[in-house]
Chains A and B, each alone.
Chain A
């Protein structure tokens, strides 16, 4: 007994205790639900059977029913559009800003950090603000677009099925660009300065230096950032709740919002679990890419 105690304060036991407690916690609260999701997707779950573990086993019925529903494919398509649009916008604008600030001038690093407010604010508040900004008749975005001549009549961002998804995309780009910018800045500054000097002496102009030195050397950083972006975009929920609620008529619905809706508004927990399982597969894939891009370091 004494040996056990001394091992805990002074030996291997110490490390093992420190790690296993949190891991057990995570296992119970994240791992088990994961498994439970899979189990529920094969069961018929309704309001009355919520309290029990044993529910009728229905095999792949939930999955088949899901794909028979007419809204399934459009929602999946929306999700793809949402992810691609968000990541593209966040990455391109973030990279542009990172390059701009990388030139470095007094005040640069402080100003750069200021952009991060978009990332730390509660998602619902960001959604509320953009909801108002994107308002059809009174929103300031429409005003600016009209004044600058880009559009002639108001776009009804939230209620027009053609634009509702893009409304959320715009808000999401605003939310995530600063995070991208910060990480890209770190990647840029890890490239040694004398490589650029060598390239300049070798005859490369600014564009050639960007293309042959900067981009290739940022490859693993870019991989990490894009996969992180994929992970965060698939987690995005609050903006949908605040701006369009998935509508009108599912035109801005995406799988992660739909999963919640199925469970908590339509009380079809079985279907909610089913979509969750499908999505989690994709999300896991993205995280494997992320982990592989960040594989290297030793303790300082």
Chain B
């Protein structure tokens, strides 16, 4: 499969601030890539650099095999869906859609037909004569996407397009966007701070922090084998539990310290005795049982139920979070037993955070 977009050794400086640090990324044609990370990690900067709205200080950026470093945005043939949609308020929906065609001198009749076709696929056919201020949030979203689609660009760039929508609409639009991508056979780069969006929509997820790519790969790869503590804590909701531990003298036991509870977990890894590690275990991988019947016992602090799942917070230091599907018998103030499967433990070096 050919690469539609290639970034090699890309760096960006804003004066003294190093916004993007040595980014290497290959995006195959037809794939859906999500850029995730906390605020300020550089994901939007990276996206805007792809569009040409920002220039890169070092490195190479290629789109469809051509070097694009110094090419202005209007010649790159990429389309962007903005967080605020950026619909032209003084033009009707139809005029918004045909804008890019009219700019290039396409005949009016042809442009109108193209707009009608796109509107049919995105369900906007009877809104063509309306103005953006007359549309709902979801409708505006679809206009923004249609405007991108009509150009048949080399790549679609999404800049947190769903953050202005309410939760229910977001879930619905996630599916629509991905379905659209598949239908068009497009190449999409999608920026979001919501890891659930990234996990559910993308073929390839890129986790960024402070200008660096912490890890990239298939969504489930990042879930199953996070490369470091940051990725482990970022992917998955609720977040992974991190417990400080020390390797025992026999090289395979892990002495974990939960404040009032201390225990030695068996591990199937051979490690240097005395080494300090951070043990990671996902809330959904901890099982509940009666006291004395599990791996060890913990006191329960708070139990919250949403009806379909139960969130149990343990009164330990650090706090353990446990998620049970359905109802649970646990109650606040009680002690319960927990079961942990050593296979599901993640080990990270205490100092560097890197996966062991």
Q: Are A199 and B78 in contact (CB under 8 A)?
A: no
Q: Are B88 and A201 in contact (CB under 8 A)?
A: no
Query: Which single residue of chain B is at the shortest CB-CB distance from A216?
Result: B90
Q: A194-B84, A197-B53 are in contact. Are A203 and B104 (CB under 8 A)?
A: yes
A195, B74: Cα distance in complex, Å: 14
Which B residues are in CB contact (< 8 Å) with A212? Answer: 99, 103
Bitwise, A191-229 to B at CB < 8 A (1) or not (0) is 010110111111111001000110011010000000000
Bitwise, A80-99 to B at CB < 8 A (1) or not (0) is 00000000000000000000
Q: Are A200 and B73 in contact (CB under 8 A)?
A: yes
Q: A198-B80, A208-B103, A212-B99 are in contact. Are A203 and B90 (CB under 8 A)?
A: no
Q: Are A197 and B103 in contact (CB under 8 A)?
A: no
Query: Which single residue of chain A is at the shortest CB-CB distance from B72?
Result: A200
Q: Are B86 and A192 in contact (CB under 8 A)?
A: yes
Which A residues are in CB contact (< 8 Å) with B100? Answer: 202-203
Q: Are B84 and A201 in contact (CB under 8 A)?
A: no
Which B residues are in CB contact (< 8 Å) with A217? Answer: 89-90
Q: Are A202 and B78 in contact (CB under 8 A)?
A: no
Which A residues are in CB contact (< 8 Å) with B147? Answer: 198, 202
Query: Which single residue of chain A is at the shortest CB-CB distance from B90?
Result: A216
A201, B103: Cα distance in complex, Å: 11
Q: Are B80 and A204 in contact (CB under 8 A)?
A: no
A203, B86: Cα distance in complex, Å: 15
Bitwise, A152-167 to B at CB < 8 A (1) or not (0) is 0000000000000000
Which B residues are in CB contact (< 8 Å) with A203? Answer: 74, 100, 103-104
A202, B147: Cα distance in complex, Å: 9
Which A residues are in CB contact (< 8 Å) with B89? Answer: 217
Query: Which single residue of chain B is at the shortest CB-CB distance from A219?
Result: B90
A199, B88: Cα distance in complex, Å: 9
Which A residues are in CB contact (< 8 Å) with B73? Answer: 197, 200-201
B151 in the interface (beta carbon within 8 A):
yes
Report the contact-size class of chain A (Cβ under 8 Å from the partner): 10 to 19
A202, B157: Cα distance in complex, Å: 13
Which B residues are in CB contact (< 8 Å) with A192? Answer: 84, 86
Chain A positions 129-167 with a Cβ under 8 Å from a chain B Cβ: none
Bitwise, A162-196 to B at CB < 8 A (1) or not (0) is 00000000000000000000000000000010110
**B133 CB to nearest A CB, Å:** 12
- B contact face: mostly helix, strand, loop, or mixed: loop
A246, B104: Cα distance in complex, Å: 54
A219, B147: Cα distance in complex, Å: 24
Q: Are A197 and B90 in contact (CB under 8 A)?
A: no
Q: Are A213 and B88 in contact (CB under 8 A)?
A: yes
Q: Are A204 and B82 in contact (CB under 8 A)?
A: no
A205, B104: Cα distance in complex, Å: 10
Q: A208-B103, A212-B99 are in contact. Are A200 and B86 (CB under 8 A)?
A: no
Q: Are A194 and B82 in contact (CB under 8 A)?
A: yes
Which B residues are in CB contact (< 8 Å) with A197? Answer: 51, 53, 73, 80, 82, 86
**B153 CB to nearest A CB, Å:** 9
A198, B80: Cα distance in complex, Å: 7
**A191 CB to nearest B CB, Å:** 9
Q: Are A198 and B74 in contact (CB under 8 A)?
A: no
Chain B positions 46-87 with a Cβ under 8 Å from a chain A Cβ: 51-53, 72-74, 76, 78-80, 82, 84, 86
A212, B95: Cα distance in complex, Å: 11
Tell me which of A195, A202, A208 has the highest count of chain B C-beta atoms within 10 A of its own C-beta: A202
A212, B99: Cα distance in complex, Å: 9
**A266 CB to nearest B CB, Å:** 52
Q: Which of A199, A201, A204, A213 contacts B79 (CB 8 A)?
A: A201
A200, B51: Cα distance in complex, Å: 10
A198, B104: Cα distance in complex, Å: 15
Which A residues are in CB contact (< 8 Å) with B86? Answer: 192, 194-195, 197-198
**B6 CB to nearest A CB, Å:** 20
Q: Which of A205, A216, A219 contacts B74 (CB 8 A)?
A: A205
Chain A positions 203-261 with a Cβ under 8 Å from a chain B Cβ: 203-205, 208, 212-213, 216-217, 219
Q: A194-B82, A194-B84 are in contact. Are A200 and B53 (CB under 8 A)?
A: yes
A85, B53: Cα distance in complex, Å: 41
User: Known contacts A200-B72, A201-B76, A202-B100; can you find 6 more A-B pairs with CB under 8 A?
Assistant: A195-B88, A197-B51, A197-B80, A197-B86, A203-B104, A204-B74
CB pairs A–B below 8 angstroms (19 shown) = A192-B86, A194-B82, A197-B82, A198-B80, A198-B147, A199-B88, A199-B99, A200-B74, A201-B51, A201-B53, A201-B73, A201-B76, A201-B80, A202-B103, A202-B147, A203-B100, A208-B103, A212-B103, A213-B88
Residues of A in contact with B (beta carbons under 8 Å apart): 192, 194-195, 197-205, 208, 212-213, 216-217, 219
Residues of B in contact with A (beta carbons under 8 Å apart): 51-53, 72-74, 76, 78-80, 82, 84, 86, 88-90, 99-100, 103-104, 147, 151
In the complex, the 8 A-B pairs of residues with the closest C-beta atoms, listed nearest first: A202-B100, A198-B86, A194-B86, A203-B74, A216-B90, A200-B73, A203-B103, A204-B103
